[in-house]
Structure 1
């Protein structure tokens, strides 16, 4: 065997886990069925915020650990894709958040008159906003600098990577439903609209975790990302034009200039949710190998990536 670890899955969770392991001195290869730009991670709006993720208490700790890392990466936004950007979470109150909220510097309640759009409650914050195509490329470069590599390769059975390394880390996201198999894994479909930015510099969200419709916009380099949806169990890969029009209309109720912005494209991603929340656990493989599961991050894979990667790495290195 010429590797210590095979990480299966090349999205943000897989790449961050691979970087964490490689920088601990292990020989790491990532096997990914899809190129990074075709993963669910590449579609993510990618604002740091613990959204649709369980278990809540552990996720809060993972999120704060990741927040510290993103704060460091924001020193070089052109390289890492990470920027500090101010914005507003409407329809959100401090009392409704977990203990992790105390670790977010500058998070504050807004007076009703300062909440944008048709909302009367909200929180203001300055948070990391990640340009995912740039960030995924940066993660791969950091992995390669640590001696790791990424290969396009689909996995049908765990015996395949186990023949190449004594440790296999399962970061397959939604594919864990069939590969593990885990019947608790289910998609939560998200649809986005990309438009020319009419001059908006702050992000905005109004995302009820219990609703299939959300409203948000994120200013990314060269585009404004509009969202969105959170359709549990839906797997349609093609954008729905009716849904797209509704997304634009909801965002325009907050910032009217969005209504006239030229549409650049549409995106659909399937968030890998799981009943019971994130699974980070290990089990033996036939022949003496070790399989570490690391999936089920729902809509917050970017938010918890570094904290979860450290936890998964502990199961690998002991």
Structure 2
């Protein structure tokens, strides 16, 4: 087994590092941003295939990740992963979501707020990202790997004292590190409000320009969101936050009066398709859009297979 450098310490990079360590490789993670500073840390992090293509590969990765997150939630309660039922409201229930085969219990429901045709209820893994990223990082370190902050100006070179292979999980950074002009940011803003006893999650994706989601966590609730292509700013907008809360209140009236405890902005690393392929001694794994958590373990399994 050889030495592998993983570039990127978000959820995809850490998941790949864990799988490579399990396969017996020596693994070092290098990243400009440490786990809690990454886009992954901002995510509401509900299992849901969003802004990731092509559908056939995404479905397979999503199914594998669902199963692994369910196992982690059951066996490692300290990981921040829990399984919760919730509802995606829709404008029409004429056909099931394209990803429905990846979840075991999808069913129709008309128990939705006024103004919606109905929805799809199912159980999904919810991932409390600050807790989960710490847990993943702990698995990397416990497995003998390392995580180092380093501002790279290019992907590390293999051979001549360098690593045997490089795994590029640089997310939005792949635009520069992999010289890939097809990578672009999709800005997402969320509002954190106090936990008011909410247990179910809610999604409303009927407006492509403004997805609305309400995802409960142990101490707060993540309320989103936005979907702004090409926007690099990470500064929250008060006006946008007000709009998010208005939409969320229609979806979940129980949020009325909930205290706002924080604002966050993340940049989803979007691409026309997820890039997961081996080129020489480099395996590229980026372009997961809004589905990094949802695809993480499926992609990590494939990366480990490509490294061998």
How high is the TM-score relative to the length of structure 1?
A: 0.92
Aligned to 2:230: 233
Structure 2 contact 62–102 (Cα < 8 Å) conserved: no
Aligned ranges 1:152-171 → 2 under 5 Å: 152-159=149-156, 164-171=162-169
Check whether the contact 2:66–2:102 (CA below 8 A) recurs between aligned residues: no
Q: Which moved more, 1:156-165 or 1:302-311?
A: 156-165
- For residues 223 and 77 of structure 1, do their structure 2 counterparts lie closer, same or farther at Cα, with a shift above 3 Å needed? farther
Match of 2:251 among 250, 254, 266: 254
Give the structure 1 partner of residue 278 of structure 2: 282
Please state how far the C-alpha of 1:117 moved relative to its aligned partner: 4.3
Show CA shifts across 1:116-167 (max 9, x none).
Answer: 3431121001110000111111111111222111111121122457653110
Alpha-carbon distance, 1:77 to partner? 5.5
Deviation readout 1:52-75 (Å, 9 max, x if unpaired): 110111100100001110111111
Instruction: Name the counterpart of 2:29.
Output: 30
* Distance verdict in 2 for CA 1:94–1:278, change over 3 Å: farther
Aligned runs of 1:173-252 on 2, under 5 Å?
173-208=171-206, 211-252=208-249
Whether the 8 Å CA contact 1:217–1:227 is kept in 2: the answer is yes
Which residue of the other structure, out of 288, 291, 294, is the alignment partner of 1:297? 288
* CA distance in structure 1 between the aligned counterparts of 2:199 and 2:114, rounded to whole angstroms: 16
SS of the aligned residue for 2:283 comes to: strand
CA distance in 2, matches of 1:242, 1:161: 48
Match of 2:64 in 1: 65
Tell me how far apart the structure 2 counterparts of residues 118 and 199 of structure 1 sit (CA, whole Å): 24
SS at match of 1:25: coil
Counterpart of 1:287 in structure 2 is none
Q: Relative to structure 1, is the Cα distance of residues 182 and 196 closer, same or farther in structure 2, using a 3 angstrom cutoff? A: same
Aligned residues: 306
2:40 maps to 41
Question: What per-residue deviation string (whole Å, max 9, x for no partner) do you get for residues 223-278 of structure 1?
Answer: 01100011111111100000000001111112223231111000000000002x11
For the 8 Å contact 1:80–1:138, the answer to whether it is kept is yes
CA distance in 1: counterparts of 2:209 and 2:158, whole angstroms = 37
Give the TM-score, by structure 2 length. 0.95
State which drifts further: 45-54 or 249-258: 249-258
- Aligned to 2:95, the other structure's residue is in SS state helix
What is the deviation of 1:95?
Answer: 2.1
CA separation of 1:283 and 1:182: change in aligned 2, threshold 3 A: same
Rounded to whole Å, the distance in 2 between the matches of 1:94 and 1:29 is 48
Distance 1:94 1:39 in 2: 38
CA distance in 2, matches of 1:83, 1:241: 31
> In structure 2, do the counterparts of structure 1 residues 159 and 68 end up closer, same or farther at CA, with 3 Å as the change threshold?
closer
Please list every run of at least 4 consecutive aligned residues from structure 1 whose deviation after the TM superposition is greater than 6 angstroms: none
Gaps of 5+ in 2: none
Q: Secondary structure at the match of 2:263?
A: strand
Cα deviation for residue 283 of structure 1 reads 1.5
Please, which runs of 5 or more residues in structure 1 have no aligned partner? 285-289
In structure 1, C-alpha distance between the alignment counterparts of 2:72 and 2:294, rounded to whole Å: 14
